[in-house]
Amino acid sequence: MQFVIAFTLAIALMAADYYGQLMGSFRSLLLTTINPIERVATLPKHLYQLATTDFTNIDALKLENQQLKTELLLVKAKQQRFSNLQLEVSRLEALLGTAGQINTQSLQIATVTYYSNNPLSQYLTLDKGQLKKVSVQQTVIDAKGIMGQIIRTTPTSSRVLLITDPDHQIPVRIQRTGQRGILSGTGHDTTQLEFIPKNSLVEVGDLIESSGLGGVFPAGYPVAIITNVENKEGSPYFDITATPVADLYQSHKVLILSQATPYLNFDEKLPETPKEKPLELIPSTLGQTHVP
């Protein structure tokens, strides 16, 4: 009898979790329970790091400090250029009368406390949670590109599903051509670019960036680099393998981005934009447009 109850309950839970996503808070509760165990599991590694850090040569630390200072200088220079570009884009947009496309997103720095990399699940655990206003579906990046998105949160931690996880998909575009597709995880540190038709221009080495479609991931962040393109007979699409640009398992500090541009609420009134005269079509010169 107990087995029948356990069996039925397990099936019901699976259905509720898989189809309805109804078990979010229950899963968060379980995650909170398992959090201390995760911390204990990482203790040997932390102790090892602590022990090895103590024996690090002071010269090596000085060298690292120098390198970091140089890097900071370069980043600051790039930042200045970026600010100028941002201003210029805003000015051009104002001239064209279009809405601004650049979103300024708030960032939070978090530390990776645990990571798993096996064929079933590829995820990270971060040390920031609901208390720091981290919420589900926020994008996580490192210095090189997108790592994944937050799927569960507890008061003091959050779990990030990596882009290489078999359950993860992200809408992307090839930076060089603008061709859109879906990047799926394979479970083996690589990703697969899907739905790229065979008449597209794709090359090994092309950079894939987030397209922003779907409203979850912000647009324009690097995601992966194409490493292999196969033309399989009988399929209308290329078989494309890509390697993530982010250091998924080496990054210790990561950035949590605030939500990307939210979906438009269609009940909400859109802000009024200055009315422009519509394009006039001159019947005598059909096919030509005249801009007044």
Partner 1 sequence: MSHKLFNLKTSQARWVILVSYIVALALDTIALFGHSTPVIPPLTLFFLLYWCANFLDRTHLFSAFILGLLADTLYQTPLGAHALLFSIITFLMIRHRLRFKGYPVWQQAFFICLYMLLYQGLNFLFFNPILNSDDFVQYWTMPALSLFLWPLLAYSLRKFSHTAVNG
One-letter amino acid of 72: L
Question: Which residue number, 30 or 281, has a Cβ lying nearer to partner 1?
Answer: 30
Question: In the bound complex, what is the minimum distance in angstroms from residue 119's beta carbon to partner 1?
Answer: 4
Q: How far apart are alpha carbons 191 and 197 in whole angstroms?
A: 17
Per CB under 8 A, does 123 bind partner 1? Answer: yes
Per CB under 8 A, does 155 bind partner 1? Answer: no
Per CB under 8 A, does 115 bind partner 1? Answer: yes
One-letter amino acid of 133: K
Q: How far apart are alpha carbons 285 and 183 in whole angstroms?
A: 45
Residue 124 in 3-state DSSP? strand
Per CB under 8 A, does 194 bind partner 1? Answer: no
Candidate residues 52, 104, 118, 250; the one interacting with partner 1 per rule CB under 8 A: 118
Tokens read off for 73? 């200088």
**Number of residues in contact with partner 1 under rule CB under 8 A:** 44
Q: How far apart are alpha carbons 251 and 19 in whole angstroms?
A: 33
Candidate residues 103, 108, 121, 258; the one interacting with partner 1 per rule CB under 8 A: 121
What are the φ/ψ torsions at residue 62 (nearest 5 degrees)?
Answer: -60, -45
Per CB under 8 A, does 237 bind partner 1? Answer: no
Per CB under 8 A, does 120 bind partner 1? Answer: yes
What stretches of 16-155 show up as alpha helix (H) in DSSP?
24-54, 58-96
| Nearest CA-CA partner of 258 in 215, 214, 224, 210 | 215
Could you say which residues in the range 51-110 bind partner 1, by CB under 8 A?
none
List contacts with partner 1 (CB under 8 A).
Answer: 2-3, 6-7, 9-14, 16-18, 23, 26-27, 30-31, 33-34, 37-38, 40-42, 44-45, 114-121, 123, 159, 161, 165-166, 186-188, 249
